[in-house]
Structure 1
Amino acid sequence: MSTELLFDFSTRPIVPFAQDYRHGAKEPWHSHNCAQLLHTLSGVVRVETDQGHWVVPPSRGVWLPAGTRHRLQATGDVAARTLFIDPFARADLPSVCQVVQISSLLRELIINVLALPERYSAGSREERIYELILDEIRVMDTLPFNLPEPQSEALLSLCRQIQAQPGIRWTTAQAAQKIAVSERTLLRHFQQQTGLAFSEWVRRARLMEALSLLAQGQSVLRVALELGYESPGAFSAMFRRTLGVSPSDYFTHQ
Structure 2
Amino acid sequence: MKKRLAANLQEMTPYNEVPANRWIRFVDTQLGVSYKEHRHRWGEFIYVFQGTLEIKVAGISYVVPPSYAIWLPPYTEHGSLNWGEMSHSVFYIEQQDCMHMPNNTCILMTTPLIRALLQHLRQNPPDFPLTEENRHLLLVLSEQLKHADVIDSYLPTTSHTALAELLDYLQAHPACTDSLAELADRVHMTEKTLTRYSQKELGMSLHEWKQRMKLMHAIKMLEQGCTVESIALSVGYSTPTAFINMFKKRMHYSPNQFRQLVQA
Structure 1 length as normaliser, TM-score? 0.79
What does residue 243 of structure 1 align with? 251
Which structure has the highest helix share of the two? 2
Superposition deviation, residue 159 in structure 1: 1.3
Match of 1:96 among 92, 102, 105: 105
1:138 is matched with 146
| Shift in alpha-carbon separation, 1:28–1:161, aligned structure 2, 3 A | farther
Report the alpha carbon displacement of residue 102 of structure 1 after superposing the two structures with TM. 4.5
Q: 1:176 aligns with which of 184, 198, 202?
A: 184
Q: Distance in 1 between matches of 2:61 and 2:114?
A: 29
Deviation string for 1:21-51 (max 9, x for gaps)? 23x533344443132222344x232324342
1:223 is aligned to 231
Q: Tell me whether 1:44 sits opposite 2:54 in the alignment.
A: no
- What is the letter of the counterpart of residue 52 of structure 1? S
Equivalent residue, structure 1, for 2:217? 209
Report which of the two has the higher share of strand.
Answer: 1
Q: Are the structure 2 counterparts of residues 165 and 144 from structure 1 closer, same or farther at C-alpha, using a change threshold of 3 Å? A: farther
Q: Contact 1:13–1:130 (CA<8 Å) still a contact in 2?
A: no
AA aligned opposite 1:46: L
Alignment gaps of 5+ in structure 1: none
Q: CA deviation at 1:206?
A: 0.8
Give the secondary-structure state (helix, strand or coil) at the position aligned to 2:250.
helix
Task: Choose from 5, 11, 16 the match for 1:7.
Answer: 16
Answer yes or no: is 1:108 the counterpart of 2:117: yes
Q: Say if 1:87 and 1:148 are closer, same or farther in 2 by CA, change over 3 A.
A: farther
TM superposition outliers: structure 1 runs of 4+ over 6 Å? none
2:5 is aligned to none
> Which residue number in structure 1 is paired with residue 128 of structure 2?
117
| Separation in structure 2 between the aligned mates of residue 176 and residue 194 of structure 1, nearest angstrom | 16
Identity of aligned residues (%): 20
TM-score of the aligned structures, taking structure 2 as reference length: 0.77
Q: Find the aligned partners of 2:191 and 2:175 in 1 and give their Cα distance.
A: 21
2:51 match: secondary structure:
strand
3-state SS of 1:91 partner = coil
Q: How far apart are 1:107 and its partner, in Å?
A: 4.1
Q: Structure 1 220/116 Cα, relative in aligned 2: closer, same or farther at 3 Å?
A: same
The match for 2:240 is 232
Check 1:106–1:173 CA distance in 2 against 1; reply closer, same or farther (3 A cut).
closer
The unaligned stretches of length 5 or more in structure 2 are 1-10
What value does the CA root-mean-square deviation take over the aligned residues?
3.2
| Partner Cα separation in structure 2 for residue 243 and residue 108 of structure 1 | 18
The whole-number CA distance in structure 2 between the counterparts of 1:103 and 1:74 is 27
Q: Closer, same or farther in 2 for the Cα pair 1:188/1:12, shift >3 Å?
A: same
